[in-house]
């Protein structure tokens, strides 16, 4: 959905309450308006309900294959995370925060030189408010990040993930303008808020299916250990980690 169509959709969603109000009275119209607003809000926080903007949550395969994605870098633990991935012979998709890339361009280059995929995770990671950003504000956050990665590594990124995954109906149009695809996840252990590696691992492993996209984070003390343990568990259970988010 383009940004223009998103605006028309937003305006169009106010027509049914008006019609209901004219036909059955203002209270019915008000209830209809409230119901539509609840649905729009839910579609942001429960993206599966959203009819606008595609989110890729898994890739197509019948093999025991998964894709690993790591959010919020580059951070001080990036070299350690890269060493762990190297030791396991695994490549991942790194969703990077633009201002951290600008502050640590050498880490961004190192991620790329080790064969991983660089992706866009907004400039300032406004996790509390990105879901209600205007198209212009989203464009600024996203375009600045792509530019920061381009400046640091000379690479045009094609993948995007919203902070905590919440997007409003304008995001699809903004991504289309900027040539980006939205990537979600199908397996996660809430490692951004929980620090218990065992508990996080169990959550991830319990939800793995062929084609799963796994969400991990970096930047907190338990993240390197979590990555090491997860890669060992995946190997023991004969899951292959591949770079396949776009197919």
Catalytic residue among 71, 116, 125, 223: 71
Which of 191, 217, 222, 223 is catalytic? The answer is 217
Smallest separation, CB 17 to Zn ion (Å): 35
Residue with nearest beta carbon to Zn ion: 71
Spatial CA neighbour of 159 closest among 84, 59, 65, 79: 59
Q: What is the dihedral of CA 136, 138, 140, 143, to 10 degrees?
A: -130
Question: Which one, 11 or 193, has the nearer CB to Zn ion?
Answer: 193
Q: Which one, 165 or 211, has the nearer CB to Zn ion?
A: 165
- Min dist CB 67 to Zn ion, Å, is 17
Minimal distance, residue 163 CB to Zn ion, in Å: 5
Give the shortest CB-57-to-Zn ion separation in angstroms: 16
User: Least distance (Å) from Zn ion to the CB of residue 45?
Assistant: 16
Among the listed ranges 31-39, 46-54, 80-88, 155-163, the one in contact with Zn ion (CB under 5 A) is 155-163
Is residue 191 among the annotated active site residues? no
- Cβ atoms of 49 and 168 closer than 8 Å: no
Comparing CB distances to Zn ion, the nearer of 43 and 145 is 145
Q: Cα 246 vs. chain centroid, distance in angstroms?
A: 14
Comparison of 31 and 140: residue with beta carbon closer to Zn ion: 140
Q: Which residues pair with residue 187 across a beta bridge?
A: 214
Site string for Zn ion, 53-72 (x = CB under 5 A): ------------------xx
> 20 or 226: whose CB is closer to Zn ion?
226
Query: Where in 159-178 is the site for Zn ion (CB under 5 A)?
Result: 163
Within 71-90, the residues that bind Zn ion by CB under 5 A are 71-72
Give me the torsion for CA of 186, 99, 105, 241, rounded to 10°.
Answer: 0
191 touches Zn ion (CB under 5 A): no
Give the length of the chain.
Answer: 247
* Site residues for Zn ion per CB under 5 A: 71-72, 163
Q: Which residues participate in catalysis according to the annotation?
A: 71, 217
């Amino acid at each position: 959905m383009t940004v223009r169509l998103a605006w028309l959709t937003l305006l169009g969603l106010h027509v049914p309450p008006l019609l209901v109000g004219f036909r059955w009275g203002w209270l019915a119209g008000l209830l209809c308006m409230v119901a539509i607003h609840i649905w729009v809000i839910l579609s942001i926080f429960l993206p599966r309900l959203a009819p606008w903007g595609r989110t890729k949550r898994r890739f197509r395969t019948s093999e025991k294959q998964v894709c690993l994605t790591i959010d919020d870098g580059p951070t001080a633990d990036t070299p350690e995370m890269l060493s762990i991935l190297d030791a396991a012979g695994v490549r991942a998709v790194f969703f990077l925060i633009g201002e951290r890339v600008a502050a640590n361009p050498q880490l961004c280059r190192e991620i790329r030189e080790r064969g991983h995929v660089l992706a866009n995770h907004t400039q300032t990671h406004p996790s509390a408010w990105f879901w209600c950003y205007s198209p212009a504000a989203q464009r600024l956050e996203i375009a600045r990040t792509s530019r920061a990665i381009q400046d640091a590594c000379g690479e045009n990124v094609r993948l995007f993930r919203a902070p905590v995954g919440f997007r409003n109906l304008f995001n699809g149009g903004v991504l289309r303008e900027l040539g980006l695809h939205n990537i979600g996840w199908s397996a996660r252990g809430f490692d951004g808020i929980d620090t218990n590696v065992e508990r996080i691992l169990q959550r991830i492993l319990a939800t793995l299916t062929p084609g799963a996209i796994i969400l991990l984070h970096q930047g907190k003390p338990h993240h390197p250990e979590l990555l090491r343990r997860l890669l060992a568990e995946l190997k023991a259970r004969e899951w292959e980690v591949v770079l396949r988010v776009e197919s």
